[in-house]
Chain A
Amino acid sequence: MVAIYKREMRSYFTTWTGYIFLAVAICLSAFIFAMSTLLNGNGTSDTSGYFSIMIYGMVFFLPILTMKSFSEEKKLKTEQLLMTAPISSWQMVLGKYLSALTMLGIYLVASLLFFIPLFDYAVVDTINGYGPNVALMIGNLFALLLVGACFIAIGIFISSLTENQFASIVLTILILLAFLLVSSFNSLIENETVRVILDWFSLYARYENFTYGVFDISALLYYISLAGVFVFLTTRVFEARRYN
């Protein structure tokens, strides 16, 4: 697993993927950040707007990390090396998964820079009487990491299904959007059972709590298990392929 992790990390920085990801992610989120805080007209230090938009932002740049994960291995037939090496499917998938997660971590750490100007330039919150809420920001960043961890797991799963990178990225974006939009439509559904089932796929509803500053332990477990399910499904794709 460590070998695969190291190779993936290296590959992010020897091919364009890692740089494109960081460039797109940082530019897009810097723009969203500026528009939703300092440039929103009243120079607020409230970052909840930023975080609720960012979940959609991630839909568009996280798939850059995962589009090649297994698609390229399949296309270049290097997966034969991985699948005949003395490692389990879990080790193979987790090596890839953790490397993408590390890239997300690098991006989130880099995005901390955005918050610095808030402390200097933002108008102090007149209602509550204090400046930027650091605890709230940390909680939100953690929530982004959790949601991102799910997105990455879904992206890796999809990349294991196709050898076409383009198909992989487009399909991932569409599916992630579907996951997010489920919660918007959910309230319109009359049938209780359907609503409960759809709620299971609703990434956004659980994320919202974090943007309000509520640390929700059930949401934490939800995200971890959702990511786990997709990592597991990816290992099953490879096991199933051995039988086809």
Chain B
Amino acid sequence: MLEVKNLVKKYSDKYAVDDISFFIKDGEIVGFLGPNGAGKTTTMNILTGYLSATSGNVLVDGVDISEKPLAVKKNIGFLPETPPLYMDMTVYEYLTFVYELKGCDFNKEKHLREVCDTVKIYEVKDRLIRNLSKGYKQRVGIASAIIGNPKFIIFDEPTVGLDPKQIIEVRNLIRTLGKSHTVILSSHILSEVQAICDRILIINEGRIIADEKTSNLASALGQAIKIKVKVSGPQKEVAGLLRGLPGVTKVQEVGVKEGDAFSFYVEASNGIDIRKPMFKALAAKGWPIMGLENTDGELEEVFVRLIDKDTKGGK
């Protein structure tokens, strides 16, 4: 587990991190979400021992990083925002260097092969890093973070600058790593954190303003869950059925007909997930669901509102 207690980082007269505390259990995938300049990178740099805190503690499995930095660093793999790659080395030379730098004590060939296979870079292992695409460079960066099999892996903005296909690959990779490691990642994209993480810490102006499980973030933030559903069936009756479901507060007909299907916005009161009862009710009537989507855009707005509120309230 990783415990952060009253962490403060002050640059001359500005607080980059202003008294934050949180606790991360083993096996969690936790996302740090916040606008640029919120203090995400600073926090990660302190967690990895790159920077020292002005005050407060970082405890990794009970050991304080400021007291035993080398022991703690052995347990942490880090991918900074810019992957720290030596352009004049081949992928394999670089990974060998990182392996030796971390003082690992495995079967080197086997371990590096496993790492290469995990991040799918074995086929480029003999190429110069300079000549790799950005997506591959990112994967080599991830490989260097997981060498030595650290218990915690910290990713700072792991998908910035990648194309959509690479973004999906990197997200999947992080989810896979999350099965065997405790992962902390930072991002300024809400949907990304939602897609990967179990839990989200929202950070703004150096303070944590929300700490919630991803699944109930919207409801916890006081926002009704709003779903767009497309149903093949008679419009009026479907709307009536949906209105009758427990927890549903509002059903709005979108009014667009596609084939024999109609779309509806369905809102439910806080914390209630109506997708399952909705499916069962519609199935019982024989009206198939043709489409179902969470209105993520709404959540994006919640995030912005939350940050605005915090910024104004904090001053």
Contact = CB atoms under 8 A, between A and B. Distances in A.
Contacts of B69: 86
Contact of B88 (A2, A15, A87): A15
B74 interface: yes
A77 B41 CA distance: 14
Secondary structure dominating the interface of B = loop
A151 B219 CA distance: 64
Nearest to A83: B50
B97 interface: yes
B144 A81 contact: yes
B102 A11 contact: no
A12 to B, nearest CB: 10
Nearest to A77: B82
Nearest to A88: B70
A87 B69 CA distance: 9
A84 B101 contact: no
Nearest to B154: A84
Nearest to B77: A84
A78 interface: yes
B49 interface: yes
Contacts of B167: none
Contact of B86 (A78, A83, A85, A88): A78
Secondary structure dominating the interface of A = helix
Contact of A7 (B73, B82, B87, B97): B97
Interface size range on B against A: 20 to 34
Contacts of B87: 76
Interface in A193-244: 242-244
Nearest to B49: A84
Nearest to A242: B52
Contacts of A81: 80, 84, 98, 101, 144
Contacts of A243: 51-52
Contacts of A88: 70
A42 interface: no
B78 interface: yes
B13 to A, nearest CB: 14
Nearest to B144: A81
Interface in B36-75: 48-52, 69-71, 73-74
Nearest to A82: B101
B261 interface: no
A160 B61 CA distance: 33
B100 A80 contact: no
B266 interface: no
Nearest to B128: A14
Nearest to B52: A242
B80 A80 contact: yes
Given A6-B100, A7-B97, A81-B84, 11 more contacts: A2-B100, A80-B82, A81-B101, A81-B144, A82-B101, A84-B50, A86-B103, A87-B70, A87-B103, A242-B51, A243-B52
